[in-house]
């Protein structure tokens, strides 16, 4: 099972939008895919219209009162399941801190999932919390959406420095990309151009700032459900293709 975490220290940058759309594309490829909504705000669960929450909350899950596989919900999309979130996810950090091995909590949780799924997508909450450190520990790929501003780049550099210093998981591949790009804004033009010249690690295809993408909040669905032929849907497909190429996926 390959683990793709969609993460940024900052909120509102497109983590949930990206994890919902990419997990759909992964499932459409025929890969058995699970999307785990780790954010207490539950955006991914909302977009996927999965109402049922985990019995007793994620607190019971982390305390291993029941198996993680029992908490998985079907989404109605072939090959795509969801582990929903609720407000109790905000206590995840606290619960992890109280464990003997706080950095290995998620690693233990996902063990039973490894055989059942080809891909696990983690829609992460913002912040450099214990949840994030657990994510860094298990992920193969860290997808980092960034809005092209100088402050976003500072936050990204901070993340990279943190990973260089603290990362124990040497598999982890960090793939940043730009989202909500509006090239009529001078700062977006300057930042996207400079960064791609200096840092080829950035994925080539930026996602533009678009009402069609934002409409996911109204439609409560992945973009492919209501605007499959749009350029925006194509840009997510192109992003997914590049991610697969850069991470040596077969499908
Ligand atoms: N490319 C985009 N164009 C327009 N709106 C976007 C785009 N990406 C995300 N959004 C909107 O920005 C807001 C934050 O996105 P979201 O994916 O929830 O970010 P995060 O999970 O990082 O907090 C949402 O209202 C979402 O619809
Ligand atoms: Mg989110």
Take residue 112 and report the two structure tokens written for it: 């039973």
Q: Which of 12, 17, 6 has the alpha carbon at shortest distance from 214?
A: 17
What are residue 145's DSSP bridge partners?
A: 177
Which residue do the tokens 């209501």 mark?
226
- Whether 51 is in a domain gets the answer yes
Kindly report the pTM of this predicted structure.
0.95
Measured from the Cα of 180, ligand 1's closest atom is 1
Q: Is the CB of 179 under 6 A from ligand 1?
A: yes
Q: Is the CB of 21 under 6 A from ligand 1?
A: no
Q: Is the CB of 122 under 6 A from ligand 1?
A: no
Measured from the Cα of 17, ligand 1's closest atom is 17
> How far apart are the two ends of the chain, measured CA to CA in Å?
13
Distance (Å) from CA 123 to ligand 2 centroid: 7
> Whole domain around residue 7: which residue ranges?
2-246
- Whether 42 is in a domain gets the answer yes
Torsion sign (Cα): 122, 156, 251, 212: positive
DSSP string of 48-94, one letter each residue: TT-----TTHHHHHHTTSS-GGGG-EE-SSTTEEEE---GGGGGHHH
- Whether 147 is in a domain gets the answer yes
pLDDT at position 53 is 63
Residues found in the chain: 251
- Whether 19 is in a domain gets the answer yes
Q: Is the CB of 217 under 6 A from ligand 1?
A: yes
Which residues, at least 6 apart from 163, have a Cβ–Cβ distance to it below 8 Å?
Answer: 136, 172, 174
Residues with a beta carbon under 5 angstroms from ion ligand 2:
15-16, 39, 43
Which residue do the tokens 């950035």 mark?
202
- Whether 176 is in a domain gets the answer yes
- Whether 200 is in a domain gets the answer yes
Q: Is the CB of 107 under 6 A from ligand 1?
A: no
pLDDT at position 9 is 95
Q: Is the CB of 235 under 6 A from ligand 1?
A: no
Which residues, at least 6 apart from 125, have a Cβ–Cβ distance to it below 8 Å?
Answer: 11, 38, 39, 40, 41, 89, 131, 132
- Whether 251 is in a domain gets the answer no
- Whether 32 is in a domain gets the answer yes
- Beta carbons of 208 and 181 less than 8 angstroms apart: yes
Q: What is the per-residue pLDDT across 96-122, written as a single tens digit (0 to 9) for each?
A: 888 899 999 999 999 999 999 999 999
Distance (Å) from CA 152 to ligand 1 centroid: 14
Overall domain count for the chain: 1
pLDDT at position 251 is 47
Residues in the chain, pLDDT under 50: 250-251
CATH code for the domain in which residue 128 is found: 3.40.50.300
Q: Is the CB of 16 under 6 A from ligand 1?
A: yes
pLDDT at position 249 is 66
């Amino acid at each position: 099972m390959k683990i793709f975490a969609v993460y940024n220290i900052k909120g509102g940058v497109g983590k949930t939008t990206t994890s919902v759309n990419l997990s759909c594309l992964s499932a459409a490829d025929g890969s058995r895919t699970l999307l785990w909504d780790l954010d207490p705000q539950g955006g991914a669960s909302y977009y996927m219209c999965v109402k049922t929450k985990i019995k007793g909350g994620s607190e019971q899950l982390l305390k291993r009162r029941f198996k993680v596989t029992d908490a998985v919900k079907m989404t109605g999309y072939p090959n795509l399941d969801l582990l929903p979130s609720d407000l109790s996810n905000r206590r995840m950090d606290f619960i992890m801190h109280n464990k003997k091995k706080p950095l290995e909590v998620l690693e233990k949780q996902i063990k039973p999932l490894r055989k059942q799924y080809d891909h696990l997508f983690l829609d992460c909450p913002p912040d450099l919390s214990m949840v994030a450190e657990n994510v860094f520990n298990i992920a193969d790929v860290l997808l980092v959406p960034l809005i092209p501003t100088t402050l976003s780049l500072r936050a990204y550099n901070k993340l990279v420095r943190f990973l260089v210093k603290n990362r124990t998981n040497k598999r982890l591949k960090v793939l940043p990309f730009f989202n909500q790009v509006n090239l009529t804004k001078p700062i977006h033009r300057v930042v996207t151009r400079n960064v791609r010249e200096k840092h080829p690690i950035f994925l080539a295809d930026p996602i533009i700032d678009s009402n069609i993408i934002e409409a996911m909040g109204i439609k409560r669905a992945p973009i492919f459900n209501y605007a499959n032929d749009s350029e925006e849907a194509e840009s997510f497909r192109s992003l997914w293709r590049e991610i697969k190429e850069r991470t040596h996926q077969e499908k």
